[in-house]
A = this chain, B = another copy of it.
Amino acid sequence: MPVLIVGSIALDTVKTPFEEHADLLGGSASYSALGASFFSPVNLVGVVGDDFPPAHIEFFQSREIDLAGMQRVPGKTFRWSGEYMLDMNVRETRSVELNVFEHFTPRLPVGYKETPYVLLANIGPDLQNHVLDQMQRPRFIIADTMDLWIKIAREELLRLLTRVDLLILNDSEARLLTEETSLVKAGAKIRALGPRYVVIKKGEHGALLFSEGRFFSCGAYPLEDIHDPTGAGDTFAGGLAGWLAAQDGKEVTFDLLRQAVVFGSVLASFNVEAFSLTRLRTLTQNDIDARYEGFRLMQQFELLD
């Protein structure tokens, strides 16, 4: 089954202590869509300018990512530039040019409105709500968000939360949204705002999944080299959503979501091994399955006698 993904499509300039690259394919929708495409077809909703390289279009199309919902308008594509410090958990945004994104209003092609799985990747909650307004009874709705929207669009975000099944956000965002230091309390408070499930991402420390009275802790796969953390969270969300959509319409339970969280983590762990989407371009199903097994081995230990 397909998954509808809406978010930003960007051209990024990324600097790390070791390398700098300009005009990379980026944006929350690009990473999420590619992550999901390893498991299910994607209906992509976003906007690009007339400077968007045809090679990126062809790349999306080569991956069963449908572009009927991608608007191409006069002007320049959204651009983001950021720099990572030696501790790659610390990032500084150097510049943001909204360009064509500034007046973006997502419009769903008729064929998209019944997509059963929805991933509202990181964009303003007003746009996320506007997409849901156009959908017809989706089976499972996932939303990602960020600190900016918690700060400047809290009311709109709270309205969104009453409409989604799973919210994904990182630990500092969960603390910002709930004013709770404990992630357990933060998870419970967010669930009380609407979503049945909450995933709190902890960057290089993995992710926690919460449902009623239960939680799952997924470690991050220890890597020798992290080249570019950009898009790790988006790839995680995309991998999770795509894998869920590929489960033949099985009911989404806590147990199924645990596996989805691991698959999201697998995708994210590959993504950071190279700049932009480079590593995902050559990733195979065998690579994915082998690392899923690696996650299992890494987390297992013996029962008590």
Residues of A within 8 A of B (CB): 86-88, 181-185, 187, 202, 205-206, 208, 215-220, 222-226, 255, 258-259, 261-262, 289, 292-293, 296, 298-304
B185 and A208: CB pair below 8 A?
Answer: no
- The 4 lowest CB-CB distance pairs between A and B, nearest first, are A217-B219, A205-B205, A258-B301, A299-B299
Complexed CA–CA distance, A225 and B184 (Å): 9
Among candidates B88, B255, B289, residue contacting A304 with C-beta atoms closer than 8 Å: B289
Which residues of the partner chain B approach A216 to less than 8 Å between Cβ atoms?
298-299, 301
Complexed CA–CA distance, A208 and B298 (Å): 9
Among candidates B224, B258, B298, residue contacting A185 with C-beta atoms closer than 8 Å: B224
Copies of this chain, count: 2
A182 and B223: CB pair below 8 A?
Answer: yes
Complexed CA–CA distance, A199 and B182 (Å): 25
A298 and B215: CB pair below 8 A?
Answer: yes
Q: How far is the CB of A274 from chain B (nearest CB, A)?
A: 15
In the complex, 5 of the A-B residue pairs with CB atoms within 8 angstroms, ordered by the A residue number, are A182-B222, A184-B222, A205-B206, A219-B299, A296-B303
A259 and B302: CB pair below 8 A?
Answer: yes
B86 and A255: CB pair below 8 A?
Answer: no
Complexed CA–CA distance, A226 and B181 (Å): 9
